[in-house]
Each structure stands twice: as C-alpha cells, then as structure tokens.
Amino acid sequence: MTQSKLTLANKPKDESISSANEFLSPSPPSYEEATAGANAICYKDAEMFTQFSWDDRNIRRVFIRKDYIHSNPGWYWASYAVFFITYLVLSCCSALRRKFPWNLILLAIFTISLSYMTGMLSSFYNTKSVVLCLGITAAVCLLVTLCSFQIKFDITSYQGVLFVFCMVMFISGLVLALVLPFNDVPWLDVTYAVLGAILFTLFLMFDTQLLMGNKRYTMSPEEYVFATLNIYMDIIYIFSFFLQIFGTKRDQSTG
C-alpha cells in the first residue's frame, strides 16, 4: 500500500492530469461544429431519401408500365375491338343479354375492356387532374341520382330531343376530327367537351329514370344488364369529357 502511494506521488503532474481526464465526460461541441455536422447530416439524409425514392420498386414499375402502355397502342385497339363487339352483342341480342350466366360474362368482359381504355386515356394526363375529374364525376353522378328521385321533371318524354342532340354532337365530332389535326383551336375542343358532358349527364338522368320506373317510360326488370350497360357508359363518357376540360396533359418527354 505504501509503495503504491509513493508511486502515485512520484508521477509527473501532466501524466496524472491526463489520466484523470480520461475518467471525465467529453466536453460538448461548439456551435460551429454542431451546425456543420447537422447540415452535413441533413444533406446526406435528403440525398439518401431522393435515391431511395427513385430506386423504389413500385415507382419504377409504375414508370415502366406507363411507358409500356404508351409504346404499345395495339393493346388499346384490341381492347376497343373487344369493347365494341361485346357492346353490339349486349345491345342487339336481347335473348343473350337475358340468359344467365352469359349476360354476366359478357358484361364483365365489356367492363374490363372499357376500364382498360379509360385507364390508358387517363395515363396521358397528370395524376392530380385525373383525381380531380374523378371527384367531379362522382359528385355529378350523385347529384343526378338525387335529382332523379326528387324532381318531377320527366326526361324520358324527351327522347327525340336527346336523339337530335346526340346526332349534332356526332356530326360535330366528325368535323372536329378533320379540322383539329390541321388547326389547333383549344376553345373549340373545350366547347365540344362541355356540350358532351351536358349531353351524357342528361343521358344519365334519362337512364336512371328508366331504371326507377316511376315516369312515363320504364325499363323491364329483366333488362338489368342493359340498364347497367347504359349507366356505366354514361359515367365513363362524363368522366372522359371532364378529363378533356379540366385535365392537364402529362409531359411525355419526362415520362
């Protein structure tokens, strides 16, 4: 014990101070050191977050899927052919659309093909504008349904007016298809889309009142597939015209 005390006493002061400092907690960093370290960490975190976002598999799959859809329009025309054939069969063959389960099978094929066409059309627009148009369409459909139940106006008695309106839109669409590729007239395109949205909103009210059966004209309960077909078509057309009005085109150069 005495020897150990003598050994400690004979140690130099500097050595004893350094050995004592080893047991003390380190001093806190200065303001400059703390600020510089925080900025470096934030920069690295942001860089890592950016790299993680672009390397995420889901984002890459969505980007590849959109690029594949745009680069292969043949799938669109194939789905359009399936849609057109099933629509003609369900519209013209009353015996087949009443026969279970073929009516539901054809209706499912029709729905899938039309959904693919609508999804491909939406891929050319900005995601926010697509969601906005979807919300507007849902609000319009809800409002039309409530009006069909509440108002006494019988739109089923105006089949001739709707037919004339539809023919005018059809001929105008053919003229615009020939004129717009040569002359860019944005207001003319928007005007046509507004009139189209109004027309198919009226058609949605017309088909809803036919399905309700409390107006001048009604639909047979056996024609539930045909009624579903018409209402689904009306909603898709309304959404497409709203997308044409409010939609923002996606920049194809950036994907």
DSSP string computed for 163-201 = HHHHHHHHHHHHHHHHHTTTS--HHHHHHHHHHHHHHHH
Q: Let me know whether 132 and 236 are in one domain.
A: yes
Top-confidence residue, 181 or 61: 181
Q: What is the average pLDDT across 63-86?
A: 76
CA distance 107 to 46: 49
- pLDDT at res. 183: 64
Indicate the pLDDT class of residue 64, thresholds 50, 70 and 90: low
For residue 163, being part of any structural domain is answered with yes
Q: What is the 8-class DSSP label of residue 125?
A: B
For residue 3, being part of any structural domain is answered with no
Report the mean per-residue pLDDT for the chain. 75
Q: What is the average pLDDT across 26-35?
A: 53
For residue 21, being part of any structural domain is answered with no
Number of folded domains in the chain? 3
Can you give the residue range of the structural domain that contains 243? Answer: 124-255
Pick the closest to residue 155 from 212, 116, 100, 111 (CA basis). 212
Does the pTM of the predicted model rise above 0.85? no
For residue 10, being part of any structural domain is answered with no
Q: Let me know whether 181 and 94 are in one domain.
A: no
Q: Let me know whether 147 and 82 are in one domain.
A: no
For residue 28, being part of any structural domain is answered with no
Q: Let me know whether 141 and 202 are in one domain.
A: yes
Q: Let me know whether 108 and 182 are in one domain.
A: no
Q: Let me know whether 94 and 153 are in one domain.
A: no
Residue 18 token pair:
């350094």
Chosen domain end from 87, 104, 123: 123
Q: Let me know whether 182 and 249 are in one domain.
A: yes
Q: What is the average pLDDT across 173-193?
A: 78
- The alpha-helical segments, DSSP class H, found in the chain are 2-10, 13-21, 31-55, 57-71, 74-92, 94-97, 102-122, 127-150, 159-179, 186-212, 224-246
Q: Let me know whether 200 and 246 are in one domain.
A: yes
Indicate the pLDDT class of residue 69, thresholds 50, 70 and 90: low
CA distance 179 to 171: 12
Q: Let me know whether 37 and 85 are in one domain.
A: no
Indicate the pLDDT class of residue 211, thresholds 50, 70 and 90: confident
For residue 15, being part of any structural domain is answered with no
How far from chain centre, in Å, is Cα 110? 20
